[in-house]
């Protein structure tokens, strides 16, 4: 009798901590799964992912430089057949909203058990939304609240052009905080805040922080 062949799930991992990557590799070590990519930064993943075209990508949010959410935002339109699943220490609702909004089909925190992670990878490949029930419930509530709001023209500009994290940065920027102060307030690196500020200026079409603050206050 001929051997039975089955389609292996091709997985790529993006995390800047070697210990985490090692643990994830062990957790998803199974006959039906093949690890086709393993990178420590979003910038590296931008190069590797379009080449290996994984079925499922496990992505951390807190990456050096470009964040995991930004990575998903960049790659999702280019890899429509890839399922993006966030695997992160953050359970912040804004991070969950941003990730789902920009193309993630799963969101797990790093306290997930190895068995649950393996099930989630298989579920994501099958088209399931891999997200804990408690987190899904909060997400639905937030989306319902957003739908009930009737934002002004100014609010619409901020709501739809900026991510939740970028809105946080813009709000603090408008309060006169420096990049270092914003980083401390949001528990981010100064480099990450600088990237967010640059994105805010670009998206709002302004040249400097003063003009961005005026936009936020509705003075522009």
Q: What is the pLDDT of residues 16-73, one digit of tens each?
A: 999 999 999 999 999 999 999 999 999 999 999 999 999 999 999 989 888 898 899 8
Q: What is the pLDDT of residues 150-165, one digit of tens each?
A: 444 455 455 457 887 8
- pLDDT tier at 177, thresholds 50, 70, 90: confident
Going by C-alpha positions, the residue among 92, 101, 38, 37 that lies closest to residue 61 is 92
**Whether residue 156 is found in the same domain as residue 89:** no
**Whether residue 42 is found in the same domain as residue 134:** yes
Number of domains in the chain: 2
CA-based radius of gyration for the chain? 19
CA dist 52 to 30, 49, 183, 198, Å? 19, 5, 35, 30
CATH number at residue 92: 3.40.50.2300
**Whether residue 14 is found in the same domain as residue 117:** yes
Residue-range definition of the domain harbouring residue 49:
9-141
Half-sphere exposure of 158 (CA within 13 A, CB side): 20
User: Among 100, 121, 141, where does a domain finish?
Assistant: 141
**Whether residue 119 is found in the same domain as residue 171:** no
């Amino acid at each position: 009798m001929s051997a039975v062949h089955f389609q292996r799930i091709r997985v790529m991992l993006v995390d800047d901590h070697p210990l985490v990557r090692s643990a994830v590799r062990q957790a998803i070590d199974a006959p039906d799964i093949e690890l086709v990519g393993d990178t420590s930064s979003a910038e590296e993943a931008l190069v590797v992912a379009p080449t290996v075209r994984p079925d499922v990508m496990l992505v951390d949010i807190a990456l050096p430089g470009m964040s995991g959410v930004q990575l998903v935002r960049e790659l999702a339109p280019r890899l429509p057949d890839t399922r993006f699943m966030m695997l992160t220490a953050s359970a912040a609702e804004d991070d969950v909203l941003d990730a789902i909004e920009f193309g993630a089909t799963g969101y797990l925190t790093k306290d997930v058990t190895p068995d649950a992670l393996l099930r989630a990878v298989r579920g994501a490949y099958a088209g399931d939304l891999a997200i804990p029930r408690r987190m899904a419930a909060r997400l639905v509530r937030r989306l319902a609240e957003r739908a009930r709001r009737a934002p002004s023209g100014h609010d619409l500009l901020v709501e739809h052009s900026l991510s939740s994290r970028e809105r946080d940065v813009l709000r603090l920027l408008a309060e006169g905080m420096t990049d270092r102060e914003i980083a401390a307030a949001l528990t981010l690196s100064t480099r990450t805040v600088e990237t967010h500020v640059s994105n805010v200026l670009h998206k709002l079409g302004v040249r400097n922080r003063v003009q961005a603050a005026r936009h936020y206050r509705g003075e522009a």
